[in-house]
Amino acid sequence: MSSPDLQGWHVSLFVTVAILLIQVIVDRVIARVYDGEPSPDSVPEPRKEDVEVELAGTKLRTGVLVVVGGIALPVFAVSLLGPTLADQLAGVTGTVLGGVTLLLAWRTREESKRLAAEVRKLSADAEKKIPPAP
């Protein structure tokens, strides 16, 4: 894929920027949808330590996402340097971004597994407290 205005390696940069923009928009929509909705009564109050750990993980992932965006956008600007140098930089950046994305996906999977186990435990505890129907 090559044309005078758009080259093949530009596509990966455009896709990365598009993903970042879509994620920001989705986060804002979700925050607006769930803003002000009360939590169900059956959910126990979280412990202060758990909340601090959750916030630290969220801030870390947000910071990594900002770094990824901060890497991707200058690479696009580097494309003005010429195809050879920009192609080399895009290749290296793509490799680094792929590794960071893999790490973030793995962390999210681990967190999802932990939360699923917690929900199963809470469900089992709730079933023990409910007396059987006569």
**DSSP-derived secondary structure for the chain:** -B-SS-BHHHHHHHHHHHHHHHHHHHHHHHHHHHTTPPPPTTSPPPPHHHHHHHHHHHHHHHHHHHHHHHHHHHHHHHGGG-HHHHHHHHHHHHHHHHHHHHHHHHHHHHHHHHHHHHHHHHHHHHHHHSPPP-
3 within a domain of the structure (yes/no):
no
pLDDT mean values, one per 10 residues, the chain (134 residues): 68 86 87 68 67 71 83 72 75 86 88 86 78 61
2 within a domain of the structure (yes/no):
no
83 within a domain of the structure (yes/no):
yes
For residue 37, the model assigns a pLDDT of 62
Domain residue limits at 21: 8-36+46-129
93 within a domain of the structure (yes/no):
yes
14 within a domain of the structure (yes/no):
yes
For residue 58, the model assigns a pLDDT of 73
31 within a domain of the structure (yes/no):
yes
1 within a domain of the structure (yes/no):
no
For residue 50, the model assigns a pLDDT of 72
For residue 67, the model assigns a pLDDT of 86
For residue 40, the model assigns a pLDDT of 57
For residue 133, the model assigns a pLDDT of 61
| Number of domains making up the chain | 1
